[in-house]
Amino acid sequence: MKKLITILALGLASILHAGEDSFAFKDDSLAVANDISFSHFSVFLEGGEIYPMGDLMDAVENTLYGGVGVRYTYWENVDGIVMFQYAYFKPRSDDYYDGVHQFMGRVGADWKWKTIHPVVLGAGFSCSWTRADVEEYSWEKRGGSLTDNETEFGWYARISLPVFRFKEYSAGFHVMWEQLWTLPKRSNMLYAGLTFERSIW
């Protein structure tokens, strides 16, 4: 019973104190009002072509890709980005598999630099999951490890140019450079395509 009375007394004292100082949390309210994180949120579709660079040029052909993503306000001129994409690579050599499935996930940020507006600069981290498209597995043949799922991490840098905007919709071009930290050599790819975006709020 004493604990209950103590809790009620403390609660009553807190209410009375809040009534005496109605501006006790005015600074917190101001901070919330100035916080623009997630004040804008949009979804987008992307598609285009991938151009393998370096040693990859001799290993696989250029291919198409497509994906989805979300964009949200993080700071005043910085947007957070989350993307998921898919591509199917055809080998140039006489490997025993028909192709390679590749799923890409990326997280990063886009910087809206006023000096070069409306061009947007972006960068972030990548995770690529690949698997060979083959019915019979063989570890002895070239590229055999791809039959057992490979995951690689890396980074990307991109430039986006919005060229169309109508109410909640926008569209534009983008070019992206991606490097996967594959050993013993890095894997580099150039992406070029279109982006269609819709603002949710």
> What mean pLDDT value characterizes the chain?
83
Per-residue confidence band for 107, with pLDDT thresholds at 50, 70 and 90 = very high
Which position has the higher pLDDT, 19 or 58? 58
Q: For 13-25, write each residue's pLDDT tens digit.
A: 554 554 444 444 3
User: What mean pLDDT do residues 71-100 have?
Assistant: 89
Per-residue confidence band for 156, with pLDDT thresholds at 50, 70 and 90 = very high
Q: What is the pLDDT of residue 142?
A: 56
Partners of 159 in the β-ladder: 121, 175
Torsion sign across C-alpha atoms 82, 67, 194, 40:
negative
Per-residue confidence band for 36, with pLDDT thresholds at 50, 70 and 90 = confident
Locus of tokens 């972030």: 124
**Over 50: is that where the pLDDT of 158 sits?**
yes
User: What mean pLDDT do residues 46-50 have?
Assistant: 98
DSSP state of 112: -
Q: What is the pLDDT of residue 26?
A: 45
Q: What is the pTM of this model?
A: 0.76
Find the angle CA(102)-CA(108)-CA(111) to the nearest 5 degrees.
135
Residue 75 is which amino acid?
W
Structure tokens at 8: 């009620």
Q: Of 190, 156, 186, 185, give the one whose Cα is nearest residue 69.
A: 156
Residue 196 is which amino acid?
F
Name the 3-class secondary structure at 1: coil
Cβ neighbors of 111 (< 8 A, separation 6 or more) are 77, 78, 120, 121, 122
Q: What is the pLDDT of residue 20?
A: 46
- For residues 107 and 137, the answer to whether their CB atoms sit within 8 Å is no
Structure tokens at 150: 């490979």
